Amino acid sequence: MSTLQEHGLLATGRYVPRLRLERTEIYAQHRWMAPGLKSLARGQRSMANWDEDVVTMAVEAVRGGAGGVQGASALTLASTSLPFAERINAGIVASALGIQDEAQVRDVTSSARAATTELLAALNTPVAGAAPRWIVAAERRVQRPASGLEMVCGDGAAAVSVGQGAVIATLVGSHTVHADFVDHFRQSGERYDYGWEERWVREEGYLKIAAGAIREALHRHGIEATAVDHFVMPAVMARVNEAVAKRVGVRPEAVAPTLADTVGDLGCAQPLAMLDAVLRRAEAGELIALVAFGGGCDVLLLRRTAQPCPGAVPDAGKPETSYLKYLAFTQQLELEWGMRAEMDNKTALTAAWRDHERVERFMGGRCKQCGTVQFPASRVCVNPACNAQDSQEPVSLADAPARVLSHTSDFLAYTPHPPFQFGHIDFDEGGRVLMEFTDTDQDELKPGLAVRMVFRIKEYDSKRGFRRYFWKATPVRAAA
């Protein structure tokens, strides 16, 4: 069968926030009462900016996959830290990406293997001629200060596209078991996880439930454990994946890195994030065992094709040494911001709906007579040599390249991450917009700097528990 007719993985992508909190800084603040954390105080963990959450990181993960969303038939968002308990979070992601209104969108949650369960379902139900389906997972979990999980967990997202076409991997076989094995839990309405004793989780959970599922998956499909070229199994505890690999007979050199030292554990996004990293270095024909543990175990056996992986890997990020900043960003520390922060950010939902296309897709207008691009669109072309009326067609600026024209750093205006940075940017294909900057240093901005648009939180309405999203500009940086 031709590769172009196969059903499988079309693209993968991952997103890691720019800020990487040094674990030594976390330990330095807690060693007076928790000296045992020293064993975890190595490397960095990813840290979301104040204006990032599961929704915004999911958008970036799909964009990073470069697989395209035009004509996508479905998008599923998997997370145990969704910002809205009753609102389709996946719908916000799909709207920001410009996925058609007819696409099926849904949220899945409650399990570290929520994403792999969805991936397996998509791979096992090919539909001839159907458009690709996206499964994206993202986490921004807040853990109790001075806990081991605070040190181990990270923020980030990963995505995979499934469908027919130039696939990068195909499903060889799979096996799934469910088990109400509680290694950690979080009651509805609670903020922090409660975890059980690590040795028991390792011995009874990973080395029995996960190892048993892997053995069964290999046995059912007549595959020797030594034939696995890449063993992808996230584990919060150190060296558990190596122990499981040894238990089932997988070669030690096949065990994939968990990204623990530079990013941390991304929860239900971790399996897809590790898979993305492995697919980018795997050779054609190599066998990948993807294992996700949590309330049971999913095992997916995938075969890498010769098709190149689209998209790029995240950049190396920026070291962050302020633990207090992390506490402020996660709203675990209430700071005195002064009177400028005392404002009512109530969102008029009726007005938001009328303007939703402009906000969600950064939709401006292009004059059909003179080609002038403007934002926002209006009935009259802003080109003084044209001034045509009712001549504009919709054009999205979300993916349009742009450059800084001017910039200001304001230390008086309120923002959760001072200074408030804003300025005018010029889009390469036309259009000038006054925008907010994000993920940039004060001395980094300069006229002519190349920037790209990112979907971020614009404002929080803390009184009502609502958040508004819009696009911001950030410098273009090279991938790692």
Q: Residue 53 burial (CB < 10 Å; 0-12/13-18/19+)?
A: buried
Tens digit of each residue's pLDDT, the chain (480 residues): 334 469 999 999 999 999 999 999 999 999 999 999 999 999 999 999 999 999 999 999 999 886 677 779 999 999 999 999 999 999 999 999 999 999 999 999 999 999 999 999 999 988 777 789 999 999 999 999 999 999 999 999 999 999 999 999 999 999 999 999 999 999 999 999 999 999 999 999 999 999 999 999 999 999 999 999 999 999 989 899 999 999 999 999 999 999 999 999 999 999 999 999 999 999 999 999 999 999 999 999 999 999 999 988 888 899 999 999 999 999 999 999 998 888 888 998 998 999 998 999 999 999 999 999 999 999 999 999 999 999 999 999 999 999 999 999 999 999 999 999 999 999 999 999 999 999 999 899 999 999 999 999 999 998 899 999 999 999 998 776
Query: Is 165 in a helix, a strand, or coil?
Result: coil
Rounded-to-integer distance, Cα 381 and Cα 315, Å: 39
Cβ-Cβ contacts under 8 Å for 383 (sequence gap 6 or more): 367, 370, 372
Rounded-to-integer distance, Cα 126 and Cα 6, Å: 10
Widest CA span in the chain: 75
Rounded-to-integer distance, Cα 208 and Cα 240, Å: 12
The pLDDT value recorded for residue 211 is: 98
Rounded-to-integer distance, Cα 273 and Cα 169, Å: 15
Query: Is 407 in a helix, a strand, or coil?
Result: coil
How far the first Cα of the chain sits from its last, in Å, is 35
Taken in order of first residue, the domains within the chain and their CATH numbers are 3-329 (3.40.47.10), 347-362+397-475 (2.40.50)
The pLDDT value recorded for residue 4 is: 46
- Residue 20 contacts residue 319 (beta carbons within 8 Å): yes
List the one residue out of 143, 33, 128 whose CA is nearest residue 80.
Answer: 143
The pLDDT value recorded for residue 343 is: 85
Rounded-to-integer distance, Cα 465 and Cα 84, Å: 9
> CA neighbours within 13 Å on the CB side: how many for 213?
26
Would you say how long the chain is, in residues?
480
- Residue 126 dihedral angles phi and psi, to the nearest 5°: -70, 140
Residues forming beta bridges with residue 453, ordered by sequence position: 473
> CA neighbours within 13 Å on the CB side: how many for 256?
28
- Residue 268 contacts residue 111 (beta carbons within 8 Å): yes
Rounded-to-integer distance, Cα 14 and Cα 57, Å: 9
> CA neighbours within 13 Å on the CB side: how many for 388?
16
The pLDDT value recorded for residue 85 is: 95
Rounded-to-integer distance, Cα 38 and Cα 42, Å: 8
- Residue 472 contacts residue 456 (beta carbons within 8 Å): yes
The pLDDT value recorded for residue 442 is: 82
Cα dihedral sign, 408-399-58-449: negative
Return the DSSP state at 303: E
Q: If you write DSSP's letter for every residue of 90-152 in order, what string do you get?
A: HHHHHHHHT--TTSEEEEE-SSTTHHHHHHHHHHHS--TTPPPEEEEEEE-----TTSHHHHH
